């Protein structure tokens, strides 16, 4: 478990997208972000206090999170003095980069010297079991998409937040780098070995009280040739009671797969339910989440209404219109 | 690529099942097996010549294959003198055990000293790409099952052999330990990292002549909660033109998943075709393979005939009745 709160390190992020990990943390857990560090030529800005490492420690920061990704996922030499300083000042480091903190001898030495920890969230640090398919108590919700990057993590975090606001028992279960850094814990599923994928999801989402909802972060898509196996292992390891269908209405082709058209929401519903019913015959679709970022407000309203009518399911864009009605739908399950 | 022919090492296999890797090799590639080595208390016997390491070298053996698995997949101390002797005598070693040859300092030293190789087929030794879903030339066939261990590898090897006998262009593409040792090459899919599963299958089964058939070894089952993600990555990486449905008619519950009933062949057909059509809209089911090992001959005949009638698809038990009619069905695609 990564200790909070965080100092968010943006390095020399050349644009906003490069800092998406830091943005995700600050959007979803602003209470964890005591401030940001931006180096020269940094073009991303979270709009929170720019502070020094010493100030971060004064404000109680326990971990400096590398909230930036660069080409190749390497640890830039220009960042090193700051990383070393953070360790020296008493903070742990956390990173979702491909290149590992734990493979940097200077960081490893400094961490050892000061009794600090280096968290590489891209690397599993648990021996996950093989899934046993045993029914677990508690409720589980999995977001599935017509494609990758259609807002599965976002709607899950929003539903979790809405349930918290209503005083309900709930947890967000992260399966990707950003989600893990947002939550401070989780399974880096894309780096788990094939035989243990579904088992890692069972491990991530153990038995709970009957009125507790786990929101398991989705990955990939059953229709995306590159990652569909990862998606299916979440559905079969997650034993969902409810599915949320996610879609980006303006997208025509699958991301990274030129020539592959997106499936319909109907096809997504049918295939996802068929798969979920293998492990939970009572699974239902609770609602639809549309990512309308590329649309005008009026157009977004229209596509949400039309989709809701056509599919007969509560439909929303979590960012624009909130997720209240999907939580109502979950509670009716 | 593991060099052939092989000396098959059965060690102290306590029963026939413990030697299933050696049995698979000897059943499917008898021409690769120059002989067997059985230690004291070995209860498995391939019925081929028992020879010494020196005799194996005389007969041209290039690799000694550990054809036995014991509890925990460890390398028994009692085997060590024989493994060292084989290296010294000029053979490579190959193993599908969990514990790796390459993690044994004495074997590594001996191999280095004599310029020999240690093949751990459980460990990927290639950096597989992420699948790109691009259409590849040539024909591909994937066997899918109502459960694990229902004869997917067996029917694929039988179809490959039948096509070879007919003088056709064909390859067997191994995805499991036994298959890799039978073929001498392949992808140890259960040990591949999640993001690269489908890509490893694309790598394994590259573009070929239009009249060439690849038989890609299936793994798991879309209906088996523990391994379904692995299965789906084979379907989506394999872009099958044809599917073979595999089933064990006497089995009631999924292996390792008490309480999970086997799906029907109809459900397997529908779900597998839906999945395959994501990557190849023209995919067809070419036939059904029943494993009738637990039935009398007359009963087997009856269930094969009934299934063929009910499903309207060429049906056989490859062991009892051959696979000629499924090859005919593949050629009609």
Nearest to A227 among B195, B222, B230 (CB): B195
Phi, psi of B34 (to 5 degrees): -80, -15
> Nearest CA to A173 among A147, A208, A146, A125?
A208
Q: Measured between beta carbons, which residues in chain A are less than 8 angstroms from residue B256?
A: 130, 132
ipTM of the complex: 0.93
User: So what's the pLDDT on residue A70?
Assistant: 76
Tell me the mean pLDDT in the region A22-26.
95
Average model confidence (pLDDT) across chain A: 96
Task: Locate A187 and state its tokens.
Answer: 């399974």
Q: Measured between beta carbons, which residues in chain A are less than 8 angstroms from residue B232?
A: 222, 228-229, 232
CB contact under 8 A, A193 and B189: no
> Nearest CA to B217 among B310, B311, B153?
B153
CB contact under 8 A, B223 and A271: no
CB contact under 8 A, A190 and B194: yes
- Categorize the per-residue pLDDT at A321 as very low, low, confident or very high, splitting at 50, 70 and 90: very high
User: So what's the pLDDT on residue A17?
Assistant: 86
CB contact under 8 A, A194 and B192: yes
User: So what's the pLDDT on residue B306?
Assistant: 98
Lowest average pLDDT, out of A79-83, A150-154, B100-104, B123-127, goes to B123-127
Interface of chain A against chain B, CB under 8 Å?
130-133, 189-195, 197-199, 222-223, 225-233, 236-237, 254, 256-257, 259-260, 263, 271, 274-275, 278-279
Looking at CA atoms only, how far is residue B261 from chain A in angstroms? 10
pLDDT beyond 90 at A222? yes
Phi, psi of A37 (to 5 degrees): -120, 125
CB A95 within 8 A of CB A87: no
Identify the closest residue of chain A to B199 by CA–CA distance. A226
User: So what's the pLDDT on residue A54?
Assistant: 97
What are the average pLDDT values for consecutive 10-residue runs of chain B, which has 333 residues?
Answer: 96 92 94 96 96 98 93 88 98 94 97 97 93 97 97 97 98 96 95 96 98 98 98 98 98 94 98 98 98 97 98 97 98 93
User: So what's the pLDDT on residue B274?
Assistant: 98
Q: Is A115 left (phi over 0), alpha (psi -120 to 50) or beta?
A: left
pLDDT digit string, tens, across residues B155-213: 999 999 999 999 999 999 999 999 999 999 999 999 999 999 999 999 999 999 999 99
pLDDT beyond 80 at A250? yes
Give the 3-state DSSP-derived string for chain A, with helices as H, strands as E and coil as C.
CCCCCEEEEEECCCCCHHHHHHHHHHHHCHHHEEEEEECCCCCCCCCCCECCHHHHHHCCCCEEEECCCCHHHCCCHHHHHHHHHHHHCCCEEEECCCCCHHHCHHHHHHHHHHCCCEEECCCCCCCCCCCCCCCCCCEEEEEEECCCCCCHHHHHHHHHHHHHHCCCEEEEECCCHHHHHHHCCCCCHHHCEHHHHHHHHHHHCCCCCCCEEEEECCCCCCCCCCCHHHHHHHHHHHCCCEEEEEECCCCCECCCCCCCECCCHHHHHHHHHHHHHHHCCCCEEEEEEECCCCCCHHHHHHHHHHHHHHHCCCEECHHHHCCHHHHHHHHCC
CB contact under 8 A, A194 and B195: no
Percent of chain A topping pLDDT 90? 95
**C-alpha to C-alpha distance for A225 and A208, rounded to whole angstroms:** 33
pLDDT digit string, tens, across residues A160-187: 999 999 999 999 999 999 999 999 999 9
pLDDT beyond 90 at A252? yes
Nearest to A228 among B132, B233, B271 (CB): B233
CB contact under 8 A, B225 and A130: no
- In eight-state DSSP terms, residue B59 is T
- Categorize the per-residue pLDDT at A29 as very low, low, confident or very high, splitting at 50, 70 and 90: very high
Nearest to B229 among A223, A233, A278 (CB): A233
User: So what's the pLDDT on residue A295?
Assistant: 97
- Categorize the per-residue pLDDT at A73 as very low, low, confident or very high, splitting at 50, 70 and 90: confident
User: So what's the pLDDT on residue A1?
Assistant: 87
Burial A288-315 (b: 16+ CB within 10 A, else e): bbbbbeebeeeebeebbeebbeebebbb
- The 10 Å Cβ neighbour count of residue A139 is 21
> Nearest CA to A247 among A261, A234, A263?
A263
Q: Which pairing describes strands B169-173 and B315-316: parallel, antiparallel, or unpaired?
A: unpaired
Nearest to B226 among A130, A231, A257 (CB): A130
Tell me the mean pLDDT in the region A294-307.
97
Q: Measured between beta carbons, which residues in chain A are less than 8 angstroms from residue B236?
A: 225-226, 228-229
CB contact under 8 A, B228 and A236: yes
User: So what's the pLDDT on residue B237?
Assistant: 98
**C-alpha to C-alpha distance for B46 and B41, rounded to whole angstroms:** 15
| Chains A & B: contacts with CB separation below 8 Å | 125
Enumerate the β-bridge partners of residue B188.
none
């Amino acid at each position: 478990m990564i200790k909070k709160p965080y100092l968010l390190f943006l390095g020399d992020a050349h644009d906003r997208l490069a800092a998406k990990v830091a943005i995700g943390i600050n959007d979803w857990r602003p209470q964890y972000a005591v401030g940001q560090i931006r180096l020269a030529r940094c073009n991303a800005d979270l709009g929170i206090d720019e502070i020094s490492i010493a100030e971060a420690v004064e404000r109680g920061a326990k971990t400096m999170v590398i909230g930036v990704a660069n080409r190749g996922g390497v640890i830039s030499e220009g960042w090193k003095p700051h990383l070393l300083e953070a360790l020296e000042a008493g903070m742990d480091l956390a990173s979702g980069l491909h290149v590992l903190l734990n493979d940097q001898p200077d960081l490893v030495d400094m961490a050892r010297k000061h009794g600090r920890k280096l968290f590489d969230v891209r690397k599993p640090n648990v021996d996950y079991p093989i899934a046993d398919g045993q029914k677990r108590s508690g409720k589980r919700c999995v977001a599935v998409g017509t494609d990758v990057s259609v807002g599965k993590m976002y709607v899950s975090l929003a539903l979790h937040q809405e349930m918290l606001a209503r005083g309900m028992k709930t947890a967000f279960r992260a399966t990707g780098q950003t989600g893990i850094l947002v939550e401070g814990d989780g399974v880096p599923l894309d780096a788990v070995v094939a035989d243990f994928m579904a088992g890692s999801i069972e491990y991530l989402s153990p038995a709970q009280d009957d009125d507790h909802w786990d929101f398991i972060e989705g990955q990939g898509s059953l229709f995306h040739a590159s990652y569909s196996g990862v998606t299916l292992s979440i559905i079969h390891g997650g034993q969902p009671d409810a599915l949320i269908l996610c879609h980006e209405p303006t997208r025509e082709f699958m991301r990274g797969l030129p020539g592959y058209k997106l499936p319909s929401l109907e096809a997504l519903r049918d295939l996802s339910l068929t798969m979920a019913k293998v492990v939970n015959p009572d699974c239902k679709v609770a609602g639809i989440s549309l990512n309308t970022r590329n649309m005008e407000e009026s157009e977004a309203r229209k596509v949400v209404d039309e989709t809701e009518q056509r599919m007969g399911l509560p439909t929303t864009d979590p960012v624009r219109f909130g997720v209240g009605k999907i939580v109502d739908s979950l509670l009716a399950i």
